[in-house]
Structures are given as C-alpha cells and as structure tokens.
C-alpha cells in the first residue's frame, strides 16, 4: 500500500520528458504563471494547469494522454476525478518562489499540506 497524497514530498517528483514539453507550452501561453500543476491519474492521463502567485489557475485545465489522440473514456466520464489521482506536484518556473509562497500555492492549488 502506497502512502496517500498528504505524505508526498515535493522533492520526490519532477516532470517526465513528455510532461516537460507540455509544461513549456502551457507557460508560453500563461505569462502570469509561477508554475504548472501536474496531476497524474491512475489511468495514465495527465491534468495540468498554470498557477499564478496567488495559487489561482492562470490557464485553463489541460488534459492529455501520452501518445494518444485523446484522453481515456474514464476521464471523459469523470473528468479526472480526484480519487484517481496518483501523483500531483507543481513544476515551478525558475527562479522558484520562496518556500512560504510555494507552500501556500501548493496548498491552495493541490490541497497538499507540506508540513
Ligand atoms: Zn484517463
């Protein structure tokens, strides 16, 4: 049994190559973003959204599936329900914000308590 999301340490996660490409694309269209929330679902689809310094969405939520034309049927049905989230983290724009801001944004955007 894996530990639940509340125990995820942000240092443990970094974007995969395909995610990195998506993140760069999202950031290009979101000048206010300080990072991109990356949510990996148990079916293999991904959910991403740019986040501004207040922890508010700075882009619309983008869902995609690697090497597929569209997201899976399950995601079409439940829109990537929270209960199916495997991993979530924020990929920060460099220079990264200070720890306090990161904590606030993470809590607000992902609901992760980092302490
Ligand atoms: Zn899916």
pLDDT digits (tens, 9 = 90+) for 12-28: 578 899 899 999 999 99
State the distance from the centre of ligand 1 to the C-alpha of 61, rounded, in angstroms: 14
pLDDT tens column, 29-42: 999 999 999 999 99
Token pair 């689809």: residue: 45
Q: What is the pLDDT of residue 12?
A: 58
Q: Which residues pair with 46 in a beta bridge?
A: 40, 64
Do 90 and 51 contact (CB within 8 A), yes or no?
Answer: yes
Res. 2 pLDDT band, cuts 50 70 90: very low
State the distance from the centre of ligand 1 to the C-alpha of 9, rounded, in angstroms: 24
Phi, psi of 107, deg, nearest 5: -65, -40
The pTM score is 0.83
State the distance from the centre of ligand 1 to the C-alpha of 67, rounded, in angstroms: 13
Closest among 92, 95, 3, 13 to 105, alpha carbons compared? 92
């Amino acid at each position: 049994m894996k530990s639940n999301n509340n125990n995820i340490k942000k240092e443990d996660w970094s974007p995969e190559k395909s995610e990195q490409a998506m993140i760069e694309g999202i950031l290009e269209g979101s000048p206010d973003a300080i990072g991109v929330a990356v949510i990996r679902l148990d079916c293999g689809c991904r959910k991403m959204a740019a986040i501004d310094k207040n922890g508010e969405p700075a882009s619309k939520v983008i869902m995609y599936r690697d090497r597929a034309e569209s997201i899976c049927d399950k995601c079409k049905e439940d829109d990537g329900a929270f209960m199916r989230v495997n991993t979530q983290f924020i990929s920060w724009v460099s220079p990264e914000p200070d720890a306090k801001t990161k904590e606030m944004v993470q809590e607000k955007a992902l609901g992760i308590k980092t302490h």
